[in-house]
Amino acid sequence: MEAALIATVDSDLDEENRALGASTPEELIEWAADQFGDALIASTSFGATSAVMLHLVHRVAPRTPIVCVDTGYLFDETYQFADALVKRLGLDVHFYSANMSAARQEALYGRLWEQGEEGVKRYLQINKVEPMQRALDELGARAWMAGLRSEQTEHRAGLRRIDRQDGRIKLHPILHWSSEEVDTYMKTHDLPYHPMVEQGYRSIGDHHSTIPTTADMDPRDGRILGQTRECGLHLPLTKEQDQSLKSSGL
């Protein structure tokens, strides 16, 4: 994107954030649905409190396609939780996975997540970044909603409710909600937590890189894949990654 166009887009986003910065999650989702129509998608990990965003989307914009990236290494409980929520809320969920199966990856490359930061980057690229980008392309998404919250990581603390990532609009309806507000919404609407929350798992990803945490720890301390505590989906692509996605057969 040319510099002049980027500046124009950023200026427009500044205006939208000023206008909608204090809006409720419902109001922001409704605005997004009106603005982008069939080109709007939402993503979910079916994690600890994913029912919140899924319920919000179900209430306000029920036709919105939901994308879940399935690495092939999710907990059994995550698959079961996802199935139950999809049925309860009548969600239109699209599951995307790597083009190379988990078994084939391990046979050819070993356990990439155990091979230092470079191995982790390759693991995330194959199993999370590429499938998500493929989903966005195939679904014709111009805008993407995600349930990120500013208190979760340093990167997320710097996000805006209406942002831009790799040429698409990125919306964060519950960005400024606290854990207490999430819990209140869950209780008000009788929504289920991921079943492993009761076992101390407060941030849930792949089974090989998720551990339980205690109340005095940051929930993201339970995610031990890489140094940033980010899964890669919500970070802008580097030029090299962008080129790789366009040319890779993975």
Tokens linked to 219: 């929930």
Measured distance CA(6)–CA(1) in Å, rounded: 6
Tokens linked to 169: 């609009």
Could you tell me where the DSSP H helices lie in 125-220?
A: 130-138, 154-157, 179-188
Is 68 in the active site? no
The one-letter code for the residue type at 38 is D
- Among 40, 159, 231, 245, the active-site one is 231
What residues contact residue 204 under an 8 Å CB cut-off, 6+ apart?
45, 47, 48, 75, 78, 194, 196, 210, 222
Contact 118, 125 (CB under 8 A): no
Contact 54, 44 (CB under 8 A): yes
Measured distance CA(78)–CA(92) in Å, rounded: 17
DSSP structure string for 8-22: HHHHHHHHHHHHHTT
Measured distance CA(221)–CA(236) in Å, rounded: 22
Catalytic site positions: 231
